[in-house]
Structure 1
Amino acid sequence: MNSKPWRIAVTGAAGFVGSVFLRHVAELGIPGIEAVSIFGSAAGDIREPGQVSQAIAAMRPDVLLHLAAIAAPSAARADPSAAWHVNVLGTLHIAQAIREVSPNTRLLFVGSSEAYGGSFLTSPSPLAETAALLPRNTYAATKAAADLMIGQMSVDGLNAIRFRPFNHSGPGQTPEYVLPAFAQQVARIENGLQPPILSVGNLEAERDFLDVRDVVRAYFQAALPDAVVSAGTVLNVATGNPVRIGRMLSMLLKQAKVQVEVQTDAAKFRSNDIPRASGDPAAARDLLGWEAEIPLEQTITDVLNFHRARS
């Protein structure tokens, strides 16, 4: 008789990171390990505690990777109520359901480096996980609140690991984010769909960029049966090497097939923007054996080609 497979359930499985995670697990094809949406083929809503509890009770996964969120800062700013309901109450529903109906499930909570906020201004960079959470926008505040909540519930016995990923991109990410926003415009210019003018915001900010395919490897390492990470552990997912957004744009424009004029749009600047943000990846390296592998140049190429194929 075959033993029960090690099942990794995912919230937000249809989203950008969730779909990359499911594809990663499928491509690895490790016997006895499977990754599925917590809601199966149905559309679930983590704002509904009954739906969440029923889904978790029915599946009783070994691991639950919680990715479902309003993930774009612009979307959270536009609808703060929805952001708080999804990112905080939705996370509470997940954690409570695990505690009540599937207490052996390991929860992997995906927060955000945005939660560090003001610590990037006052603490040495790259930041370690011990830095204070000092959010400076709505999205960051919701992620910080959920992060602290899961930390407190871990003290009370919830088997949870908290991730704080830094900026990550890859093919399939929406143009609400900086790299696909640039790449989509370049692809449209190449195909004659817009004038050869690239509209940009703040190019001086420095960010710790990763490829989403590296990020999901970190989550997968923590989801494995033999992962040795204590409940309550917090892990940055970062490179420790920030890159100026203007430099990333220059790398992209070197791959463009046409000449492009870069035009600054003041409306795209954020008044509370952090000049420099990077994270210390030492804990993830030490506990998971993980480190970023895909060079930024490759990520840029893949994102640009993704938009070329769709413009």
Structure 2
Amino acid sequence: MTHRILITGANGFVGSALLQLLERDHGGCKVFALGHGNGQENAIDLLDRNAVERAVQEIQPTALVHLAAVAAPSDARNSPRHAWDVNVTGTMNLAESATRHAPQARFVHVSSSEAYGASFQSVRGPVTETVPLRPMTVYGATKAAADLMIGQMAHDGLRAIRFRPFNHTGPGQSDVYVVSAFARQIAEIVSGKSEPVIRVGNLEAERDFLDVRDVVRAYATAALADLDDGPEHVYNIASGQPRKIRDILDMLIARSGIDIEVRADPEKFRPNDIPSASGDASKARAELNWTPLVPFEQTIADVFGYWQRLCNAR
């Protein structure tokens, strides 16, 4: 069987990494990359039910990897109605279209660790998939709602796999996310474009970080795997090792080789910030044979190198 994989959000950070992986390691697949934005040849608006129906009907995918979302928590906070529309209604349109026009397709839904929310404060250590979804942010709430919706649809026959990835980064990520934000500022300092001062938010928070290349390996596995059907296919994608944001900043500063002053910026502190969040991915390890492979030091080096190249090219 030739796999026909439809990817939404294909021109985003994670989607681009997934496309690279499939092209490199799974060349026999046919990939249909659907992105968004004006002028995109493969653009699709997930809120346009008819357009989504036509795409699924024409492509007849064997798997759908649903990455399209309002993905930055700050964007969701600033435009909550849009976030709910895209992250929940858009997901419903795609899942319903799959049920009608490609009922045998695997539906790979990408949720978020932010769906756990307040559960991080009541559970000691890395959380498993069984802890309650108690989101505290707009983004987390939209992701939790879509996650529960896809779980319910799995009871009605949708061949769903739900992932709850923890923080991930890598070269090419937007600087609205913390590791890229640090790396960009430091690269600009090294290149002489900025004064040797970096402005930061809460450095005491601990987060479970992964390399995006490890994360998309899980998605590709799910899209290609021959798994039994059922609503129990829900997986954390995590390292299980929380890292203090301060330590990540220190690693990046060390790579710069220069002295940099660190200043707190009230604008960068997030509301509803959870002190520590990490995940237990033993279920993904047991059922999908997935485990993180890229050392975090390599991830940091690659993110910093990416921003250095970008600064030098300007």
The TM-score normalised by the length of structure 2 is 0.95
1:170 counterpart residue number: 170
* Superposed CA offset, 1:251-305 (max 9, x none): 1111003221111112211231000000001000001100001111111110011
3-state SS of paired residue (1:108): strand
Residue 11 of structure 2 corresponds to residue 5 of structure 1: no
Question: In structure 2, how many angstroms separate the alpha carbons of the residues matched to 1:220 and 1:105?
Answer: 14
Contact 2:155 2:230 in 1 (8 A): no
Tell me which residue corresponds to 2:33.
Answer: 37
Contact 1:22 1:36 in 2 (8 A): no
Amino acid at match of 1:292: P
Tell me which of 17, 22, 27 is aligned to 2:19. Answer: 22
* Amino acid in structure 2 at the alignment position of 1:110: V
Corresponding position: 1:141 with 2:141 = yes
State how far apart, in whole Å, the 2-side matches of 1:99 and 1:114 are: 27
Rounded to whole Å, the distance in 2 between the matches of 1:152 and 1:87 is 16
The alpha carbon displacement at 1:225 in A equals 4.2
Query: Paired residue for 2:85?
Result: 85
> Equivalent residue of 1:10, what SS?
strand
**1:25–1:34: 8 Å Cα contact kept in structure 2?**
no
Superposed displacement of residue 38, structure 1:
4.2
| Pairwise CA RMSD | 1.4
Contact 2:159 2:229 in 1 (8 A): no
Cα separation, 1, equivalents of 2:224 and 2:79: 36
Counterpart CA distance in 1 for 2:73 and 2:235 is 21
Distance in structure 2 (CA, Å) of the matches to 1:225 and 1:218: 10
- The C-alpha deviation readout for 1:17-48, integer Å capped at 9, x for no partner, is 00100001101144x32322147942111111
- Secondary structure of 1:235's match? strand
1:277 matched to which residue of 2?
Answer: 277
| Structure 2 residue runs without a partner (length 5+) | none
Matching residue of 1:111: 111
SS at match of 1:18: helix
Q: Which residue in 2 is equivalent to 1:195?
A: 195
Give, in whole Å, the separation in 1 of the partners of 2:198 and 2:274.
Answer: 23
The answer to whether the 8 A contact 1:238-1:278 is kept is yes
SS in 2 for 1:148: helix
Distance 1:60 1:231, change over 3 A: farther
Question: In the TM superposition, what are the counterparts of 1:255-274 in structure 2 within 5 Å?
Answer: 255-274=255-274
Question: In the TM superposition, what are the counterparts of 1:284-299 in structure 2 within 5 Å?
Answer: 284-299=284-299
Query: Do 1:166 and 1:238's aligned partners in 2 also have CA atoms closer than 8 Å?
Result: yes
Structure 1 Cα separation of the partners of residues 142 and 295 of structure 2 = 31
Q: Select between 114-123 and 231-240 the one with higher mean Cα deviation.
A: 231-240
**Is contact 1:38-1:56 (8 Å) kept?**
no
Q: Which amino acid aligns with 2:6?
A: A
Letter in 2 for 1:309: R
Paired residue for 1:179? 179
Amino acid at match of 1:282: S
Q: Supply the distance in 1 between the matched residues of 2:9 and 2:271 (Cα, whole angstroms).
A: 30
Preserved contact between residue 128 and residue 279 of structure 1 (Cα < 8 Å): yes
**1:8 Cα deviation after fit:** 1.2
Q: Is contact 1:73–1:138 with CA below 8 Å preserved after alignment?
A: yes
Measured in 1, the distance between the counterparts of 2:109 and 2:6 equals: 12
Counterpart in the other structure of 1:102: 102
On the 8 A contact 1:6/1:225 being kept in 2, the answer is: no
Q: How many equivalent pairs are there?
A: 307
Contact map agreement 1:221 1:227 (CA 8 A) in 2: no
- Whole-Å separation in 2 of the counterparts to 1:176 and 1:184: 10
What per-residue deviation string (whole Å, max 9, x for no partner) do you get for residues 208-244 of structure 1?
0000000000111111143457444110000111100
Report SS of the residue matched to 1:132: coil
Task: Say whether 1:208 aligns with 2:208.
Answer: yes
Indicate if the aligned counterparts of 1:155 and 1:232 stay in contact, CA closer than 8 A. Answer: no
Query: Does the CA contact (< 8 Å) of 1:166 and 1:278 recur in 2?
Result: yes
Equivalent pair of 1:285/1:291 in contact (CA under 8 Å): yes
Instruction: Letter of the 1:73 partner, please give it.
Output: P
1:229 and 1:287 in contact (8 A); partners too: no
Q: Which residue of 2 is the match for residue 61 of structure 1?
A: 61
SS at match of 1:157: coil
**Structure 1 Cα separation of the partners of residues 185 and 146 of structure 2:** 34
